[in-house]
Structures are given as structure tokens and as C-alpha cells.
Amino acid sequence: MVEVRSGEIGGKVSDKGMSNTQQAVSVLKDLILDNRLASGSNHLESELAKMLGMSRTPVREATLILEAQGLVEVKPRHGVRILSISPKDMTEIYDILTELESLSAELAAKQNHSDEDFAGAVDAIHRMDSTLKNEDREAWAMADETFHSELVRLGGNERIANIFRMYSDQVRRARKITLNLRPKPTKSNDDHRRVLKAIRLGNAEQARELHRLHRIQAKEMLIGLLEEYGFHNV
């Protein structure tokens, strides 16, 4: 049995001010995204409670929150089921992100952002370049996600940002798998550069369409890989 608490395995260093419920959400999410709670597996409330070193009450609350976020399914008397992601799920999520990120690009282009506002996105692109040179795909993926997240932030729609975070969590496992199967993502870096340029020039429609295309291509490659390699549930 795994004993998981903040300072030990859980990950997060500082739990200060966090309620047990919030801690449980955070730790469970980490465990799920790391695949240490395997997708498809079931876990009783009491088991998780023992694992997290707290009573059932906050664990139960956490599972309800995670269920609302789409990471688990609470099935009475069968425990909490860690949801897996199928190619169909990936398609659904990528379709949504394609639309909402493209809209974000459009909205970002329509605003009067300062150079400072773009610093995060510029830095992300730089890191994508350098990590790609070093063949560090793990780090490249992080920088890539940062760029997308910056794009969404620049768009200024907070609800899109929430949706983005939620679905990024859900597809992380699948992305990790395809990361080393896919060809070297040189084009992604170029795409991002072009999108950012269009945004900075205030060219909303172009930014939107460029990003949309980028996303659609990324989706097709990813789904293709998942199906080609037979990952029907991740």
C-alpha cells in the first residue's frame, strides 16, 4: 500500500492553508495524471482515505469535485473509477480546444497587449526551440503547453482558461504516450511563431485561422498515432 502525504510522495511542497479536501483534490489529481492511480482502476473511499492519511469526509468531497472536473467517476459501491481516455475522447477534447484556442488567438489580436504581455509566449517559443535542439521532448511538451496556455491567457476569457486547464489535465496521459512516437515537432514551433506574429500585428482573422490549422493538424497526427499503435484507452 502506498502512503501519500504532502511532503513525502504527494508532490506539492506547501500545503499551508489548504484544507484537507483541497489537498486531497491536489494529491489525487497528481496521482491520476502520473498514472500512479491507473486509468480504469477503482478505489474505495476508505482506501483513498487511508492512502491520504485523512478521514473519508474530505476524500469524499474531493472525489465529487474531481468528478465534476471529469477525471473520475463515482460509482456507489464500486469505488471511484479513474477515467480513461479513448481516441474518441481525444477527438472531442481536441475539437473543443481547437475552437476555443483559435478564438483566443483572435481575441488576443484584437487587444492592445504590451510587449511585456507577450513575454511568456515569446519565452515559451524560445524554450520550444532549445529543447527541440536538445531532443528533450519532455521539456518541449511543457513549453508547448505553456505557449497554448499563454495564448489562452492573452485572449482574456477566463472561462476558456478554465476549460483549457481542465482538458489539458484530461489529455496529459495520452499526450505523454504519443510524445515519443510522433515525428520531430519542428513545424509546431514555426506555427506558433506565425500565430504570435499575427497576434502582435493585430491580424485577428489570420491569427485565428493559423492557429486553427495548427490545431487541426496536431489533432489528426495525435489521433492517428493513438489508433495506429492501438491505444484504445489511455
Partner DNA sequence: TAATAAAATTACGTATACATTAAAAAATTA
Partner DNA sequence: TAATTTTTTAATGTATACGTAATTTTATTA
Question: Residue 142 or 204: which CB sits closer to a copy of itself?
Answer: 204
Question: What contacts 216, CB < 8 A, 6 or more positions away?
Answer: 98
Write the single-letter amino acid at 212: R
16 binding DNA? (CB under 7 A): no
Position 217 contacts DNA (CB under 7 A):
no
- Residue 59 CB, nearest approach to a copy of itself (Å): 12
Only one of the segments 49-57, 87-95, 193-201, 205-213 lies at the binding site for DNA (rule: CB under 7 A); that segment is: 49-57
| Binding range to a copy of itself, per CB under 8 A, among 28-36, 117-125, 126-134, 152-160 | 152-160
Query: Is the separation of the CB atoms in 212 and 102 below 8 Å?
Result: yes
- 223 part of the interface to DNA, by CB under 7 A: no
Please pick, from the candidates 19, 41, 134, 162, the single residue that binds DNA as defined by CB under 7 A. 19
**Do the beta carbons of residue 83 and residue 73 sit within 8 Å?**
yes
Is the Cβ of residue 56 or residue 200 nearer to a copy of itself in the bound state? 56
Select the binding partner of residue 227 from DNA, a copy of itself, none (C-beta < 5 to 8 A, by kind): none
Neighbours of 166 (CB within 10 A): 14
Name the residue type at position 16. Answer: K
If DSSP codes are grouped into helix, strand and coil, which group holds residue 79? strand
Instruction: Please say whether the dihedral angle defined by the alpha carbons of residues 139, 157, 93 and 91, taken in this order, is positive or negative.
Output: negative
Contact 95, 56 (CB under 8 A): no
Contacting positions for a copy of itself (CB under 8 A) = 21, 57, 60-61, 64-65, 68-70, 92-93, 95-96, 99-100, 102-103, 107, 157-160, 163, 167
